[in-house]
Amino acid sequence: MNLDTLSVDLIQNKLRTKFIGQEIKYFEEIGSTNDIAKELARKGASEGLLVIAERQIGGRGRRGRSWHSPSGGIWLSLILRPKLVPQEVPKLTFVAAIAVARVIRSLDLNAEIKWPNDILIDCKKKVCGILCETEVNLGYVVVGIGVNANFDKDYLPEELQETATTLKSELNKKISRNHFVAHLLNEFEDSYLTFIEKGFSPILDVWKEFSCILGENVLVYQDDTKFFGKAIDVDQSGALILKLKNGSTTKIFSGDVSIRRQK
Ligand code: BT5
């Protein structure tokens, strides 16, 4: 077997989880792992089921954006069934972000989190995106995680090559994706159980340690509105607190952030 081939057995051999990844559905090619996970969740699939694919042809980001998902990446979705009110669901993005950042940091790369759902290397180049989707009335959340792993960044469209990177391009070698996925599932379950048992505070503490936007001047696009200010905090609801030029503060619940460093 090619050392880089995704293998359900090899992933599961390295798991020390109670429920995350205990059932895995693997696909060579798929539209979007999130779509399949949602379909399975609607049919009653158990908490912890993982959908993983070698490549996606309809990978999605937020707000209908596309997510490029060539072979060699890590494209996966987890089904969760937490008892949360809808406003709390975005906190699972924080849970996933700290798990991904920890695993990438274990490869000696400087993984940092950009609010709300990006993992960047050196706070510059996006290596991972997270997409949480829910149908609260059906009692599930799907957490989709995409990591640019074992392909060179020139496999991404040209317009992304300045702002994106891959683990292979950073390390100049391939990693073991099976090991990475198992490590990620182990970390994810630890963080998820901490969140369920102890609440959001311990998650937010780690998240802030890994965050690269606090204290920076940022531009935030929220739908058609643009805010410029200093990112001073993320509160217990997961909202970004911006200090605007006029000295007032505002809370942002969703949006896209770009960092404006003074030269
Ligand atoms: C995200 O959205 O970053 C969430 C990405 C989630 C992908 C995973 S893969 C497994 C699961 N199944 C899915 O279908 N999705 C999830 P957003 O913050 O909206 O960022 C999307 C933007 O990132 C795009 O508009 C591009 O600018 C950029 N982008 C697209 N593909 C990329 C890639 N492979 N690497 C880095 N940036 C990318």
Expressed in angstroms, the distance from the first to the final Cα of the chain is 50
pLDDT at 3: 61
> What atom in ligand 1 is closest to the CA of residue 65?
25
What would the two tokens of residue 197 be?
A: 């048992």
pLDDT at 4: 83
For the chain, the residue count is 263
> What atom in ligand 1 is closest to the CA of residue 164?
36
Beta bridge partners of 132: 143
136: confidence class by pLDDT, cuts 50, 70, 90 = confident
Q: Could you report the per-residue pLDDT of 181-235, keeping only the tens digit for each?
A: 999 999 999 999 999 999 999 999 999 999 999 999 999 999 889 999 999 999 9
Neighbours of 89 (CB within 10 A): 18
Q: From atom 7 of ligand 1, which residue's Cα is the shortest distance away?
A: 146
pLDDT at 2: 65
pLDDT at 261: 77
Which amino acids bring their CB within 6 angstroms of ligand 1? Answer: 32-34, 56, 59-62, 65, 67-69, 75-77, 117-118, 126, 129-131, 144-146, 148, 156, 160, 164
What would the two tokens of residue 256 be?
A: 């896209």
Q: Could you report the per-residue pLDDT of 144-175, keeping only the tens digit for each?
A: 999 999 999 999 999 999 999 999 999 999 99
Q: What's the gap in Å between 194 CA and the centre of ligand 1? A: 27
Neighbours of 256 (CB within 10 A): 16
Calculate Rg over the CA atoms of the chain.
Answer: 18
Q: What angle do CA 7, 8, 12 make, to 5 degrees?
A: 120
Sign (positive or negative) of CA dihedral 30, 115, 97, 4: positive
Q: Could you report the per-residue pLDDT of 77-133, keeping only the tens digit for each?
A: 999 999 999 899 999 999 999 999 999 999 999 999 999 999 999 999 999 999 999
Give whole-number Cα distances, 54 to 59, 70, 102, 113, 116, in Å: 12, 8, 23, 25, 26
Q: Is the pLDDT of residue 67 over 70?
A: yes
Q: Is the pLDDT of residue 263 over 60?
A: no
Mean pLDDT of 29-50: 98
Q: From atom 38 of ligand 1, which residue's Cα is the shortest distance away?
A: 67
> Does the pTM exceed 0.75?
yes
pLDDT at 230: 97
pLDDT at 262: 64
pLDDT at 10: 97
